[in-house]
Structure 1
Amino acid sequence: MSDRKPLRVGMVGYAFMGAAHSHAWRTAPRFFDLPLQPELSAVAGRNAEGVRAAAGKYGWDSVETDWRRLIERDDIDLIDICTPGNTHAEIAIAALEAGKHVLCEKPLANSVEEAELMTAAADSAAARGVYSMCGFSYRRTPALALAKRMVDAGRLGQIRHVRAQYLQDWLSDANAPLTWRLDKEKSGSGSLGDIGAHSIDAAQWITGRRITGVSALLETFVKERPVGGDFVGLGGHGATGEDVELGPVTVDDAAIFSARFEAGAADGGASDGSAPDGSASDGGPIGVFEATRFALGRKNAMRLELNGTKGSLAFDFEEMNSLSFYDAAQEPDAGFRRIQVTEPEHPYTGNWWPVGHGLGYEHVFTHQVVDFVNAISEGRQPSPSFAEALQVQKVLAAVEASATDDSRWQKVQP
């Protein structure tokens, strides 16, 4: 038994994200020296049989069939929200007002208005020592965290271009069944919010610049899908035939937009526009973003490339343990070189395996837990905060507004 003070977790939702979060809460204290000891106290879900099965499989001590019971319990310190976006605001606000820390999956909400209410509740709770964080887990990929470190150190100089893609193919089969992710009322948006939000957050976080305006195009390739059935992957799922009931797809299948980032100091200075040497600020990078779940052959290609005045960085999550770097001064004729991000000095990696032994998707959630627990123990606001997630929500809203107005340039709400 650990002599550390327990951090008793109650999780709402137990499907895909619930499995990933459960693994992270169990694993984090076994590989990292945490100041608090996470305990998997209770998991909540509406289906009694399903939530009991999940509790047994993932190692939760007890179950609830109403998330409100989790918040009422005195033996719960933190609420982990792994449910569809239309439920985030109600659960998070209630939990924060009850004095529970909150980890909420992304995107933060289904609208800017909901995200603003959540951020206000988070700010109020933080003043009482109750903290919240949004689960943009890709920030905890060691290679992307290294990219952030290199940009902050000025290795790329003044950022000029940002290219971000998130490519998947799991909806390419038109017979894939209609799920909650294809229902705008529940999910808020399709590829834009589901995966594009990760690209937006990563680009803003690594560059230290907010997106200020966008011009966008959204497309829904398959307008109707079979109702019912379980999704198992491309091919061999769904139903066909004249008797199959079809329901409308009310979200985007693909999103494309160009973006302008806010101005900042040239050559790696502060992103508030004030260069250390007093030089003029740049005009802000330009960016291109793409998110789709119809790119056949691409399973989870979350890509990001930055081009600056001194160098470039490129990353692809399908090769998540490496980062490509081009240094214009040292290697003008050599092109990109590959950094294997498995050294002990690289972010997070020193707590895992010997050099050269790569990490996987599940590790980013473990790193998320580590960062959140450390922030709670130290009494500081973790990142990404709800305020940072609200900024992403504002970009999502601007993209949708632009796409419904013939791709007209749309300013992001300040």
Structure 2
Amino acid sequence: MVGYAFMGAAHSQGWRTVGRVFDLPARPVMSAICGRDADAVRTAADRHGWAAAETDWRAMIARDDVQLVDVCTPGDSHAEIAIAALEAGKHVLCEKPLANSVTEAEAMVEAARRASERGQVAMVGFNYRRAPAIAYARRMVADGRIGVLRHVRVTYLQDWIVDPEFPLVWRLRREYAGSGALGDLGSHIVDLAQHLAGERLIGVSALTETFIRERPLPAGAVAGLGGSGSGGAARGPVTVDDAALFTGRFGSGAVASFEASRFAAGRKNSLRIELNGDRGSLAFDLERLNELSFHDHTEPAADSGFRRILVTEPEHPYLDAWWPPGHALGYEHTFVHQARDMVLAVTEGTGPEPSFEDGLQVQRVLAAVEDSAEKNCVYTPVPA
């Protein structure tokens, strides 16, 4: 695995746990973890159960005891690492969004296509697909439980950069992150909307906004980013969006609305999606991870309304390997399920879902959103 911070820890949890929970045809061995800081990556290796620590990802990829490379770095290095790993004959799991641009994502897809001819697997890590409630919602939609899809509404709200003195971390710089709330949060909700709908978006109309345009540089950062000083503190420009709002249309004619913001005070990790069809509606809230809300519109009006489905039964996706009904799972279990699906894709030789092609399609939607927002004209009322 390349990267050892937040996503590195989450992915490590998945790899460390999956073989102890699921009966798999092969059990992952955590051979090596890689990062630039030798002391920090050694600490991460010891904490998370990796046998070795590396500071050069190229050397790690060259190891004979590595057959699969998990990329958990900022987006600016996804393409370089993933393509090199595929060309070295490794399977690849890459965090979302797949890349920082459509051009990079296209190159990754081409490398994955060549690798697939050699029996390699390349998957992108949209972990929320692996929440059992989401997986069950996909099954319900595919089974026609809500009928013909009409409308999808999705929001993903956080508040971790509301404070204008929060430092200029890599996620707020385009050269590393590609985009802001749009890529970080928007990629998740675009993927979920398309995954649950079972179809792709064909058009968007958007606006984005950056509320705080300069921030203090992190401790130890190099000055000279083009910002100003305030009270002696070096500052730099925020070069990504803080919030993105857009509407979309599916090929079937169903419509969708999306909102991604890191400026929603009080919202820590609030993702909600609702799908409305001519026979019913489904809703999921990440803060109620083990539940679905379902309305059956074919029932008599006097009896109808939303009801709660507790998704903890062994018949529900992934749950035959876990606890008795009613014993809830958490965020970290989505990474265990992701590791399970990756192992099965590798051992069974099946096409991984979501594939790099799926990641590229999401990247194209994000690019269309940015393009629409850039062209979106601002109406200035004429003074009376």
Deviation at 1:332, TM superposition (A): 3.0
Distance 1:66 1:402 in 2: 39
Contact persistence 1:166–1:303 (CA under 8 A): yes
Structure 2 SS opposite 1:19: helix
Percent identity (aligned): 61
Unaligned runs of 5+ in 2: 221-228, 379-384
Structure 1 SS opposite 2:151: strand
Deviation at 1:241, TM superposition (A): 6.9
Which deviates further from its counterpart, 389-398 or 399-408? Answer: 399-408
Query: Number of residues paired by the alignment?
Result: 369
Residue matched to 2:226: none
Contact persistence 1:217–1:407 (CA under 8 A): no
- Equivalent of residue 393 in structure 1, options 343, 363, 381: 363
Structure 1 stretches of 4+ moved >6 Å: none
AA of the residue aligned to 1:289: F
Deviation at 1:169, TM superposition (A): 0.8
Residue matched to 1:345: 315
Structure 1 SS opposite 2:351: coil
Distance 2:300 2:169 in 1: 49
Distance 2:299 2:29 in 1: 49
Residue matched to 1:95: 85
- Equivalent of residue 116 in structure 1, options 100, 106, 110: 106
Distance 1:15 1:120 in 2: 29
- Equivalent of residue 251 in structure 1, options 232, 237, 240: 240
Structure 2 SS opposite 1:353: coil
- Equivalent of residue 359 in structure 1, options 326, 329, 342: 329
1:83-106 Cα deviation digits (max 9, x unpaired):
000000000001001110000000
Residue matched to 2:23: 33
- Equivalent of residue 223 in structure 1, options 185, 192, 213: 213
Distance 1:358 1:331 in 2: 32
Contact persistence 1:215–1:407 (CA under 8 A): no
- Equivalent of residue 262 in structure 2, options 283, 293, 306: 293
Distance 1:197 1:262 in 2: 19
1:364-384 Cα deviation digits (max 9, x unpaired):
000000011011110111100
AA of the residue aligned to 2:269: N
Contact persistence 1:122–1:132 (CA under 8 A): yes
Contact persistence 1:134–1:384 (CA under 8 A): yes
Residue matched to 1:405: 375
Deviation at 1:331, TM superposition (A): 5.3
Contact persistence 1:322–1:341 (CA under 8 A): yes
Distance 1:197 1:105 in 2: 11
Residues 195-274 of structure 1 aligned to structure 2 (within 5 Å): 195-229=185-219, 242-263=231-252
1:374-402 Cα deviation digits (max 9, x unpaired):
11110111100000110000000000000
- Equivalent of residue 9 in structure 2, options 19, 35, 39: 19
Contact persistence 1:104–1:135 (CA under 8 A): yes
Residue matched to 1:79: 69
Contact persistence 1:216–1:407 (CA under 8 A): no
Distance 1:155 1:405 in 2: 39
Matched, 1:152 2:152: no
Residue matched to 1:189: 179
1:46-72 Cα deviation digits (max 9, x unpaired):
111111111111111001111000111
